[in-house]
Structure 1
Amino acid sequence: LLTNTWRYMKFAIANQFFQIAHRSGVDYNSVLDAIRRDYPRAADLPGPGFAAGPCLLKDTMQLSAFTPDHFPMGQAAMQINEGMPNYIVDTLNSRHALAGRTLGILGMAFKGDSDDPRASLSYKVRKLAAFKGARVLCTDPYVPDSSFVSLDEVLKESDVLVIGAPHRAYRGLELNGREVVDIWGITGPIRL
């Protein structure tokens, strides 16, 4: 419980730092580079991303339930990490209403180069974007799902792309200057 909770909290710190920088109009790539380069004790700070999967959240929830009212850091970590899809969809919708637009999600697994979709936050992005009125297309080279479409179709049809899982297959994609959300930095710099 403790090791998975520790990892989950590290991801929450990274996601919170990303949100602070983004809300302040600061380039997070520069911030993260400076933290990792100029402060060796923080070299292991992860980048932002979806902290998901079947274990990290579950174990943090168990520890939080075991110590009710005595683990506010764990509860904050859950709010931050589980709130990343909301943050992304709300940011996109505030820039340009998602209603009537097509949003493509590249990667539905909970982590890169995996075929495991359990507790993937990409599904939350899909649901939230659809609720805002977007047509949502999903693709994943590893996760079999009859509702998914090909990568080519997602790239051709989408107005905005969200990298849901950092699959190596997405490195070097020709994105034609389109609006791309890549909090992982797999297609280039971290961007929202």
Structure 2
Amino acid sequence: AQTIAEKMTQTLIIINKSTVPVGTGDWTREIISSKQPQPIDFSVVSCPEFLREGSAIADFLQPDRTVLGSIDRAAAEAVAELYTPVNAPVVITDLRTAEMIKYASNAFLATRISFINEISIICERLDADVTEVARGMGFDKRIGPHFLEAGIGFGGSCFPKDVKALANMAQTHGMHPQLLNAVMEINAFQRRQITLKAREMLGGAVNGRTLAILGLAFKQNTDDTRESPSLTVARSLLNQGAVVKAYDPVAMENASRDLPGMQLCQSPYEAAEGADALLVLTPWNEFKHLDMRRIHTSMARAILIDGRNMYNPAELRKLGFAYRGVGRGYNGEG
């Protein structure tokens, strides 16, 4: 902001696309006003992006909405004209509200994930199947089907950071963000659940055991390993004395920097060979089409922990796998 103030020579509209703490637009405006060598008119517009990794181009070309915030409505309307070709609803509001919309949106989506993950834990205890629970819920138009896939929790560069930041902003202003704190706690516990299942299925300990992990990116269709649940699980297993072999289609270079103790493999089959348990933690499409008979034959013990509920439990058990999913609690086997 100070550099803009020092360099600007004509009237400007300054657009901020980043996710920033609520109030950043006002601070930017104050800094520029105080640092200008001579007064020049300008406006600050918040235009937060809503782009998902792996589908950013499609999200940009076909957005659900465009959010614009400014104390200068004419400036916001001028920016809105830039988005006319995408033909999406435009929300024009003030700076702080626009900044808050981004945080609230991400926090709500993270809350849905943690909600269905908590339901999955209950399903395991009550012998219900969370995939069918989510399906039944999703037909309700008030709820919808999105972000109701139980798994090992959310990761990446947005949801964890934004939920934590929003909770911190609330605490800074004297509030107790109980729901946001619960969202983060459930997300952390869901990762531990995978390690606990591995220990249980291996007789109470993983020390000296070989565990294979399929998927290291925090989600499919990206090489991003920031806040990856898979790496949290791998780190926990390594700390408990396990040998961890791993494969990911595109994220192994990043994962090797984050967690050099893993043995990286060139294929899912190489990772599974000789393993005491196989953990599927990122829902890459190629993992849906593996030769599971070949996997079963190559493993030292045919234990499969399906962290994304990608497989049909009955089919895998028929092949001879000891199978555990997330929240698929029939017969006491989640």
Q: TM-score, normalized by length of structure 1?
A: 0.89
Question: Which residue among 112, 117, 122 is the counterpart of 2:225?
Answer: 117
Deviation at 1:123?
0.6
Question: Which residue among 106, 129, 152 is the counterpart of 1:27?
Answer: 129
Contact 1:102 1:159 in 2 (8 A): yes
What's 2:184 paired with?
A: 78
Deviation at 1:35?
2.5
Question: Which residue among 203, 212, 221 is the counterpart of 1:104?
Answer: 212
Could you say what secondary structure the match of 2:216 adopts?
coil
What's 2:193 paired with?
A: 87
Task: Give CA-to-partner distance per residue, 1:76-97, whole Å, 9 cap, x none.
Answer: 0001112212111112212323
Contact 1:54 1:119 in 2 (8 A): yes
What's 1:191 paired with?
A: 325
Distance 2:309 2:201 in 1: 21
Q: Quickly say closer, same or farther: Cα 1:129–1:144, change in 2 above 3 A.
A: closer
Deviates more, 1:94-103 or 1:49-58: 94-103
What's 1:130 paired with?
A: 238
What's 1:153 paired with?
A: 270
Bigger Cα Rg: 2
Answer 1 or 2: higher relative contact order, Cα 8 Å, separation at least 6: 1
Alignment of 1:8-87 (within 5 A): 8-37=110-139, 39-45=140-146, 46-49=148-151, 50-68=153-171, 69-87=175-193
Deviates more, 1:39-48 or 1:125-134: 39-48
Distance 1:172 1:126 in 2: 23
Deviation at 1:188?
3.6
Distance 1:183 1:153 in 2: 20
Contact 2:134 2:145 in 1 (8 A): no
Deviation at 1:36?
2.9
Q: What RMSD in Å do the two structures reach over aligned CA positions?
A: 2.0
- One-letter identity of the residue aligned with 1:121: P
Q: TM-score, normalized by length of structure 2?
A: 0.53
How many equivalent residue pairs?
191
Question: Which residue among 302, 306, 312 is the counterpart of 1:182?
Answer: 306
What's 2:56 paired with?
A: none
Contact 1:48 1:184 in 2 (8 A): yes
Contact 1:105 1:137 in 2 (8 A): yes
Distance 2:270 2:145 in 1: 37
